[in-house]
Amino acid sequence: MRTGPARDFFHHAALPLRRMVTLAGAWLLPGECVLCGGLVEHSTAGGGRLACAACQRYYIGEWLATAGARCRQCATPLPLAASGLCADCLRRPPAFDMTVAAAPYALPLDRLVLQLKFGGRLALARLLGEAMADAALATPGFIQPDILCPVPLGPRRLVERGYNQALEMARPLARRLALPLQARMAVRVKETLALSRAATPAERRAHIAGAFAAQQREWIEGRHIGLVDDVMTSGATMNELASLLKRYGAARITCLVFARTSPHNV
Ligand SMILES: [Zn+2]
Ligand SMILES: [Zn+2]
């Protein structure tokens, strides 16, 4: 540790330097693209960026630009020339009103979700959450929810993993959208195992039925709630939670997910 005049000199000399770094950092901070490892420059005023400009354009840009070509309610890609709602949502409307997805659940973006969930790469949560905020603001017809609620994990899964990835993604999303976050709006009262890909929609609904319990009616009644999760596959989990919150008086539910599976890889 430096003492006396030497310490004073370094202390004062460091001040302008620190200020310069802070000022520069407000505009431009170099980071590493999570997809190609290349340089990504981002504004801290607007938050971080998941990927470099080229990867953003290639892997996410087209997806965001074609939000109108996906189902408004569940974000599944629609057949060419169709618009509005998919056949499933028309036939059996889910309990949620809208879904915003930041990216397709496909290579290489699916790896990010797996690294966050099973690889303990918790730092990814901020970038994925911020990408979800960008996607929400870029989605036509997006209405800001009143409050965000992450899809809860069961206590056993939470102990195994050490964190709920949905909550970790919801924090930066809430910050960026300036929304309150209430992680205890619902709890998971039934642990469920992942179903095989061959499971039918009816099997998925039966499997997840009764998995959640709501608490604190005052957070739910009359509110537009944003449900946050990493991936939407069949939508059965979101549907179960949304229908529970609607029974408790929620006015509207918007699902906010990082990635959405396309019909052929459900
Ligand atoms: Zn890149
Ligand atoms: Zn749909």
Per-residue model confidence as pLDDT tens digits over 25-55: 333 445 788 888 888 875 544 445 778 888 8
Ligand 1 midpoint to CA 108 (Å): 11
pLDDT, position 52: 85
Task: Measure 135 CA to ligand 2 centroid, in angstroms.
Answer: 18
Name residues of the chain where pLDDT drops below 50. 1-29, 44-47, 265-266
Q: In this structure, which residues have their CB less than 5 angstroms from ion ligand 1?
A: 33, 35-36, 38, 51-52, 55
266 class by beta-carbon count within 10 Å (0-12 exposed, 13-18 middle, 19+ buried): middle
Residue 266: the pLDDT is: 43
Burial of 261 (0-12, 13-18, 19+ CB in 10 A): buried
Domains of the chain: 1-59 (no CATH), 66-265 (3.40.50.2020)
Which residue, chain included where needed, has tokens 């596959």? Answer: 233
Measured in angstroms, how far is the CA atom of residue 33 from the centroid of ligand 1? 5
Q: Distance from the CA of 255 to the center of ligand 1, in angstroms?
A: 27
Tell me: the pLDDT tens digits for 194-205?
777 778 888 888
Match 């998919």 to its residue by tokens: 86
* Cβ-proximal residues to 39 (8 Å cutoff; 6+ apart), any chain: 30, 31, 32, 33, 52
User: Which ligand number lies closest to the CA of residue 82?
Assistant: 2
